[in-house]
Structure 1
């Protein structure tokens, strides 16, 4: 059983489809989450996240992949380039496109987890709890900033191919 108090999580929902954005909000509210803010697209999300004060930072971003203007992968890449507290926010991408190559593309942009549509309240809650209770260390190198992309955290003894990357401590 999880000890995470989801009612205290401040979540940004990024979705250009008003119906799915409303569905996500309804599911999150039914699960007890009320500290919710919405962005109609990736551009609005970047504006919100770039201007957030450290005392009011988001705990989680849930965003769609396919959006008009700036898609979810572009949005994640931009979030990971921000200079404030939002840079390290956990991100769950929700999409109907679940091919492994697309999951890898999202992970390489800096997504913490991936949830395929259709979603259920249980699957969404499971991803939220997983991301919040089992954070992966953040990695920073010349071409990437985001959660450690290795899904398995087993001890690795081979050559270091990260080109001077720093593994940042968990907060």
Structure 2
């Protein structure tokens, strides 16, 4: 993976463990990110998200008040969130398939298992911030497209998502981030 200048990004780290927040902060600063905002629980994380408009969020699964899944659902709520497209990277020591699927279904952009490695975290940041996947809206889901590789002609059935459903809204933040397109699925 090629090096990317991440210095213009602002990150919100939400974790109830002060030691883990320090580790994540040091890694982020090592990647060149200068502005790291920290919250110790889901409620203060939501408050800081609304007031600081971070470019991406790193959050833990297990936290008091709102856990990582509850916070993700709040952040993805298009009616109440200031930026429901924000990239969300979940870190957790619980890496069983059921939890990964549950996080994905809540709208988490990327998932990193503890113990953290600098390489894994950096890759997830670059994937979610620099090369975001399109967002999908259905009756029961709003979040990044679950598919990593999109092959346009792979499925030709009745419920195939097509370009005619794309909203096509692309903007730029901090000269680096491109917000994903949203596709609406009936």
**Same-fold call, TM cutoff 0.5:** yes
RMSD, aligned CA: 2.0
The 5 Å alignment of 1:14-163 reads 14-52=14-52, 57-81=53-77, 83-155=80-152, 156-160=155-159
Kept after mapping to 1: 8 A contact 2:74/2:81: no
Report the count of equivalent residues. Answer: 164
Q: C-alpha distance in 2, partners of 1:91/1:44?
A: 16
Deviation at 1:91, TM superposition (A): 0.5
Kept after mapping to 2: 8 A contact 1:80/1:110: yes
Kept after mapping to 1: 8 A contact 2:92/2:113: yes
Unaligned runs of 5+ in 1: none
Q: Secondary structure at the match of 2:91?
A: strand
Change (3 A) 1:77 1:151: same
Q: Which has the higher helix share?
A: 1
Unaligned runs of 5+ in 2: 171-178, 180-186
Q: C-alpha distance in 2, partners of 1:119/1:20?
A: 9
Residue 5 of structure 2 is matched in structure 1 by 5
Q: C-alpha distance in 1, partners of 2:75/2:109?
A: 12
Q: Secondary structure at the match of 1:67?
A: coil
Q: C-alpha distance in 1, partners of 2:99/2:81?
A: 28
Kept after mapping to 2: 8 A contact 1:139/1:168: no
Task: Return structure 1 stretches of 4+ with deviation > 6 angstroms.
Answer: none
Kept after mapping to 2: 8 A contact 1:8/1:33: yes
